Structure 1
Amino acid sequence: MNIDIGNALDAVAQPGVSEDSLRRLDDRVAAAHDRIERGIADEEFGYAALSLPETTDPDAIHDAVAPLADSEYVLTVGIGGSALGAATVADALGVGERAPVLDNVDPQSLQTTVESLPLSETAVHVVSRSGTTAETLGNFLVVREAMADAGVDWTDRTIVTTGESGPLHALADEHALPTLSVPEGVPGRFSVLSPVGLIPAAILGCDIEAVLAGGHAGRTALAPSIFDCPAYAYGAVAVALERRGAHVNAFVPYAERLEYFAEWFAQLWAESLGKDGMGQTPVRALGATDQHSQLQLYRAGRHDKLITLVRPRDRSQLTIPDTEIEELAYLGDTGVGELIDAEFEATEASLAAASQPNVRVEIDRLDAASLGELLYGMEAACILAGELLDVETFTQPAVEWGKRAARGLLGDIDAPETDAITEKERLVVAPDRSQ
């Protein structure tokens, strides 16, 4: 993974950061790096995520999924970090269409997804650390009933990733389901390089060893300087720009197989750094598609954004045929990859010409190793940003508040947060249908 921060410098962008400011910030980066290394070595909560390329056992994953090796599809049932990582890996490795996720409780979408799958050929991967996540368990119960109704033995088609105790773990024990553990000390959004994120890819025959090897390459690339470490350069520049007014981070991959990666990044960045009145708001876009829509705002709107442009340097080859249409002759015999790269570089240049700060993130190619390195790099960037912002990177109190309020509303617990629902201020505007 390489980072080009040239278009975030104040010689180009407004807001921008000077090289002198980055050199001064580098002392804090070095101190943060020492803190991160101590956290990794001591397996502290959160920091343990950066050990996953070494601590995740691919053989254990392969052994667990062996009974499901005949599956044509893998349905992940989870929410947030318990689903986005798996979807990101599967999509990036080209098997996303065979690896749908149930990560919401929209009844129409749930029914459509279940009815679209050949359940006798589908593995179900249920993920919940606590084993009590309402959305996940509700969806799983629906899937389990659908399998039974279709004459499929759900116990033969289900694998569980959960904590060491809880109702989901007990269910897995009762029915002798293959089970792997959510890694200790790792928040869900940082768990992609573990069974949480790798099981669907493993069932579908992807090279999870290469994903972990890429993560290991990201681990060895950590160094105590912005100018030597791409991950830290990204995290530090994002923080420096936020402090200068870039409160939005528009994350734009130029590869459709990285669209879910942008979703994953948005959760990582928002849930980790949105604390104490700080944190950039992540926005997802897709290049080159959203050049025809969102780019208008990014180039000509407020100067309150960092635009992160992501691409693989090497792409598969596909040539645009020659055409007899004179106005389109320039496209003939041009690679489609050349076209999207031209779009990428034109967008980058147009943003710089408008003094809008942007950063280029590049990987060698969109393969398992580069994906692992990219995932690890963004996790390290996020943790470094949290150190520089002095926030509790690995907690999510606002998320937990909403969970308690919902559980109270459903009668599961007595939660004072539920009072905020019943006491909501209302000013309803509705059409007059009496006429």
Structure 2
Amino acid sequence: MRVDLGNALSTTPGVSESSLERLDEQVAAAHETIEEGRENAEHGYAALNLPDTADPDAIRSAVEPFDAPEAVVTVGIGGSALGAATLSSALAEPSDPDAYYLDNVDPERVTRLLSTLDLSETVVNVVSRSGTTAETLSNFLVVREAMDDAGVDWTDRTFVTTGEEGNLRNLAEKHDLPSLPVPDGVPGRFSALSTVGLAVAAIQGHDLDALLAGARAESERLSGSLFESPAYAYGAASYALANRGALTNAMMPYAEDLEYFAEWFAQLWAESLGKDGLGQTPARALGATDQHSQLQLYRAGPRDKLVTLVRPTERADRGIPETDLEGLSYLGGSSLGELLDAEFEATEASLAAAGVPNVRVEIDAVDERGLGELLYGMEAACVLYGELAGVSTFTQPAVEWGKRAARGLLGGGDFEEADAVSEKTSLVVE
């Protein structure tokens, strides 16, 4: 992974190279804290050890019974789905089993998906650390009923990824289901390079070793200086820019295969850093599509944004045919890849010319190694940002509040958070 901070140095808001040099002392101290946390496998920091602690052989063994299914449906939410979805969508080949994600409880979406699948040729992957996640367990019960109704033995088509205890662990033991453990000390949004994120990639036949090798390479570049680590450079610059008013971070990959990556990044950044009135709001965009929908705001709207432009430097290409259409002849003889690169560089220059900070992030290719680098790099950047900001990066108290409120409304216990729902103020216009 390569990070270019040049277009964030003389912008509004912006961060100078000299201020980054001063910040580097704090980066060195934060790195010591991170390394100590990793060494002791403390909660959260253990996620940065996954390139060395994840066991790809165990993952492949767990999914081996499900040889060549037509589809795999992951039932999970948030970090239990987004990492796997990022990998499967980025690496998908036409011959791969189709990957679907039930990460919401929208009844129409669930019903529509189940009606289109041959459930006898579908593998179901149920993911929940606690085994009690209401959305996940509800969707799984619906899927299991659909399989029963279709005459499919769900126990032959299901595996679970869960903690050592809980409903799903009990279910796996009762029905002798294949299962994978959720690693200790790894919050869901940091679990893409673990059993949680890698199982679907294994079913699709992707190279788990290369994914972890890419992550390991990025791990080995972490150091006490942001000028020696792309991950730390990105995390430190994002933190510094947020302190100067860039409170929105628009993640804009220039590869459709990375569109889901922007969704994964949004959870990572928002849930980890949005604490104590601090944080940087992630926005999702796609180049070049959103040059025609969002760039107007980024370039000419409020000066409160950092735009992160991500691209692979190598990709398959396709030529643009020659044409005699007036005004378009210049396109003939070039390629779609060349056009996309021109769009990338034009957007970058457009933002810089308007004084809007933007950072370039590059990987060699959207392949297993490149994705390992990118995902690990962003996780390490997030952890560093959290250390610099002094927030509790690995907790999510606001999310837990909402979970308790919903559970109380459904009769799952007596939770005072549920009482707040009845206190809602209304101003209805019909």
User: TM-score, normalized by length of structure 2?
Assistant: 0.98
Match of 2:81, SS state, is helix
Q: 1:321-373 CA distances to partner (integer Å, 9 max, x unpaired)?
A: 11232321111121111110100000000000000000000001111001001
Counterpart Cα distance in 1 of 2:99 and 2:309: 26
Matched, 1:21 2:40: no
> How many Å separate the matches in 2 of 1:326 and 1:314?
31
| Deviations 1:243-288 (CA, angstroms, capped at 9, x unpaired) | 1000100000000010000000000000000000000000000000
**Are positions 1:46 and 2:10 aligned together?**
no
Which residue number corresponds to residue 236 of structure 2? 236
Kindly indicate whether the alpha-carbon contact (under 8 Å) linking 2:69 and 2:97 is maintained by their aligned counterparts in 1. no
Deviations 1:209-264 (A, max 9, x none): 11111111111111111111000000000010001000100000000010000000
Residue in structure 2 matched with residue 158 of structure 1 by the alignment: 158
Separation in structure 2 between the aligned mates of residue 33 and residue 262 of structure 1, nearest angstrom: 26
- Equivalent-residue separation in structure 2 for 1:261 and 1:73 (angstroms): 21
Give the conservation status (yes or no) of the 8 Å contact 1:252–1:285.
Answer: yes
Aligned runs of 1:17-416 on 2, under 5 Å?
17-95=15-93, 98-416=98-416
**CA offsets per residue over residues 27-67 of structure 1, 9 Å max, x none?**
00001011101111100000000000111100000110000
Which runs of 5 or more structure 2 residues have no equivalent in the other structure?
none
Identical counterparts, % of pairs: 68
Contact kept in structure 2, 1:33 and 1:384, CA below 8 Å: yes
Specify whether residues 97 and 267 from structure 1 end up closer, same or farther in structure 2 by C-alpha distance, changes over 3 A only: farther
For the 8 Å contact 2:97–2:204, the answer to whether it is kept is no
What amino acid sits opposite 2:283 in the alignment? Answer: V
C-alpha separation between the residues in 1 aligned to 2:118 and 2:215?
Answer: 34
Q: Distance in 2 between matches of 1:221 and 1:153?
A: 48
Partner of 1:433: none
Aligned CA-pair RMSD: 0.9
- The one-letter amino acid of 1:15's match is P
The change in CA–CA distance for 1:97 and 1:319 in structure 2 (over 3 A counts) is farther
Does the CA-based 8 Å contact 1:91-1:97 persist in structure 2?
A: no
8 Å contact from structure 1 (residues 305, 356) kept in 2: yes
How many residues are matched? Answer: 428
Say whether the 8 Å CA contact 1:309–1:360 is kept in structure 2.
yes
Tell me if the contact between 1:73 and 1:204 (Cα under 8 Å) persists in the aligned partners: no
Structure 1's consecutive aligned runs of 4 or more residues displaced over 3 angstroms after TM superposition are none
Structure 2 letter corresponding to 1:163: G
* Contact 1:127–1:161 (CA under 8 A) maintained in structure 2: yes
Conserved 8 A contact 1:33-1:223 = yes
Check the 8 A contact 1:163/1:169 in 2, yes or no: yes
Secondary structure of 2:307's counterpart equals strand
**Code of the aligned partner of 2:25:** D
Verify the 8 A CA contact 2:248 2:305 in the aligned structure 1.
yes
Unaligned runs of 5+ in 1: 431-435
Alpha-carbon distance, 1:97 to partner: 7.8
**2:238 counterpart letter in structure 1:** A
SS in 1 for 2:64: helix
Higher mean C-alpha displacement, 318-327 vs 75-84: 318-327
CA distance, structure 1, for counterparts of residue 380 and residue 97 of structure 2: 29
Structure 1, residues 70-94: CA drift from partner, whole Å, max 9, x if none?
Answer: 2121110000000001100101112
Tell me, in whole angstroms, the C-alpha distance in 1 between the residues paired with 2:295 and 2:267.
Answer: 22
8 Å Cα contact 1:29/1:384 also seen in 2: yes
Kept in 2, the 8 Å contact 1:249–1:283? The answer is yes
Secondary structure of residue in 2 paired with 1:68: coil
Deviations 1:407-427 (A, max 9, x none): 000010100001110111112
CA distance in 1, matches of 2:85, 2:120: 21
Secondary structure of the residue that 1:222 maps to in structure 2?
A: coil
Contact 1:270 1:282 survives alignment (8 Å): yes
Asked if residue 420 in structure 1 is aligned to residue 426 in structure 2, the reply is no
What is the TM-score when the length of structure 1 is the normalising length?
0.97
What is the distance in 2 between the residues matched to 1:158 and 1:189? 23
Are the counterparts in 1 of residues 70 and 97 from structure 2 also a CA contact under 8 Å?
no
Partner secondary structure for residue 310 of structure 2:
strand
What SS does the corresponding residue of 1:126 show, helix, strand or coil? strand
SS in structure 2 of the partner of residue 314 of structure 1: coil
Paired residue type of 1:380:
A
CA distance in 2, matches of 1:195, 1:225: 31
Distance 1:321 1:176 in 2: 57
Native 8 Å contact 1:249 1:282 kept in 2: yes
For residues 175-207 of structure 1, give each alpha carbon's deviation from its aligned partner in whole angstroms, at most 9, with x where no partner exists.
Answer: 110000011000000000011001111001111
CA shift, 1:122, in A, is 1.1
CA distance in structure 2 between the partners assigned to 1:77 and 1:334 by the alignment: 43
